[in-house]
């Protein structure tokens, strides 16, 4: 089953790229139609921006995402316990040793990134390293190593890149709407096209407003099931379900991260870094921790 899931993740990478590029194209065409009087020009600009983001993340994903989250790389001499746990889990999972990073933050969190196991990295907050005992830390690191082994990180990395591009273009379009208005002009001798122009105007505005939400929903849809699989895979690596259950219980009680976390990279973390509540909780990129614990107890 595990190898089938890995193969499925690789196939879904292609589908994910296509879906995100469709969203990119839609918002680019909308911005082009409203402000350039040329939807094709907007479409091409959006696809170029998206391609640059995607290629940059594929080849430099580790450095880009670690920089986004203010993570610094550490050595075995600086943090021997943490480093050697990552080393042990990588050895058990039979993947190359990932780079090891730490984030100066009192909250309890961790994530993995990279486009493949050969250039992957694991990061943990100082709060997590201070609070977790060895068994719990092995569970968390095993979870992140499982994301690497299962090729979840490739999907997540591409999602971060394209969601960031969609948010950027939407933001540009929104600011142009707020400060300058659209450049669409109705010609007096084109009365017959008024209704079509109104429909296209409404669709363009909706694309600009809703595209970031759509991108978030795509990330949400691909993220939740991966977390269940990574939890189970961590138990497979550690042979210690109680360690993972105990770690999740502590993660559930964690405070939000104090440093700003980009919305595009929030889905990478093992625990929701913003601790959303109310209406925003409907858009969790992770399943409830209580559900994750219950699944492990049933194993």
pLDDT at position 55, please? 80
Nearest Cα to Cα of residue 73 among 83, 60, 59: 83
pLDDT at position 178, please? 64
Tokens 């969790």 sit on residue: 284
pTM of the model: 0.74
pLDDT at position 92, please? 96
Distance between alpha carbon 214 and the CA centroid of its chain, in Å? 14
pLDDT at position 278, please? 47
84 annotated among ligand-binding-site residues: no
pLDDT at position 183, please? 53
Which helix (H) or strand (E) is 122 found in, with range? Answer: strand 121-125
- Cα→Cα distances 44→31, 56, 247, 278, Å: 11, 18, 46, 38
Q: How many domains does the chain have?
A: 1
Q: CB pairs under 8 A, 24+ apart, for 270-278?
A: 270/109, 270/110, 270/111, 270/140, 270/143, 270/144, 270/227, 271/107, 271/108, 271/109, 271/110, 273/107, 273/109
Domain residues for the domain of 9 are: 2-297
pLDDT at position 187, please? 47
Q: Quick check: is 144 catalytic? A: yes
pLDDT at position 186, please? 47
Task: Tell me the C-alpha distance between 78 and 207, whole Å.
Answer: 48
Q: Which of 144, 191, 252, 255 is catalytic?
A: 144
Give the DSSP letter of residue 239. Answer: S
pLDDT at position 167, please? 79
147 annotated among ligand-binding-site residues: yes
Q: pLDDT of the chain along its 299 residues, tens only? A: 556 655 665 676 677 668 778 888 888 888 887 777 778 888 888 888 888 877 877 777 788 889 889 999 999 999 999 999 999 999 999 999 999 999 999 999 999 998 889 999 999 999 999 999 999 999 999 999 999 998 888 777 777 777 778 878 877 776 766 665 555 544 444 544 566 667 666 766 776 677 677 766 766 666 667 888 899 899 999 999 999 999 999 999 999 898 888 766 787 899 888 766 544 455 566 788 999 999 888 87
């Amino acid at each position: 089953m595990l190898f089938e899931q890995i193969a499925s993740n690789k196939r879904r990478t292609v589908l994910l790229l296509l879906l995100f590029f469709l969203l990119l194209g839609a918002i680019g065409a909308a911005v082009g139609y409203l402000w350039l009087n040329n939807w094709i020009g907007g479409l091409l600009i959006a696809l170029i921006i998206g391609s640059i983001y995607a290629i940059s993340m594929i080849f430099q994903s580790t450095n880009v995402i670690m920089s986004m989250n203010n993570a610094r790389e550490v050595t075995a001499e600086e943090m021997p316990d943490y480093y050697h746990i990552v080393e042990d889990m990588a050895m058990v999972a039979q993947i190359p040793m990932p780079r090891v990073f730490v984030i100066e933050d009192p909250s309890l969190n961790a994530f993995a990134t990279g486009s493949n196991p050969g250039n992957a990295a694991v990061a943990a907050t100082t709060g997590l390293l201070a609070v977790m005992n060895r068994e719990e830390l092995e569970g968390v690191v095993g979870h992140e190593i499982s994301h690497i082994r299962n090729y979840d990180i490739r999907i997540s990395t591409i999602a971060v890149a394209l969601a960031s591009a969609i948010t950027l273009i939407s933001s540009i379009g929104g600011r142009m709407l707020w400060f300058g208005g659209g450049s669409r002009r109705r010609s007096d001798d084109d009365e017959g096209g008024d209704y079509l122009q109104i429909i296209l105007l409404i669709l363009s505005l909706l694309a600009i407003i809703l595209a970031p939400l759509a991108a978030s929903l795509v990330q949400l849809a691909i993220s939740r099931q991966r977390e269940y699989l990574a939890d189970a895979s961590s138990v497979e690596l550690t042979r210690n379900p109680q360690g993972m259950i105990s770690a999740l219980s502590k993660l559930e009680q964690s405070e939000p991260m104090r440093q700003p976390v980009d919305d595009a990279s929030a889905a990478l973390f093992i625990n929701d870094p913003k601790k959303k509540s109310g209406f925003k909780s409907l858009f969790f990129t992770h399943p409830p921790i209580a559900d994750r614990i219950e699944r492990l107890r049933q194993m």
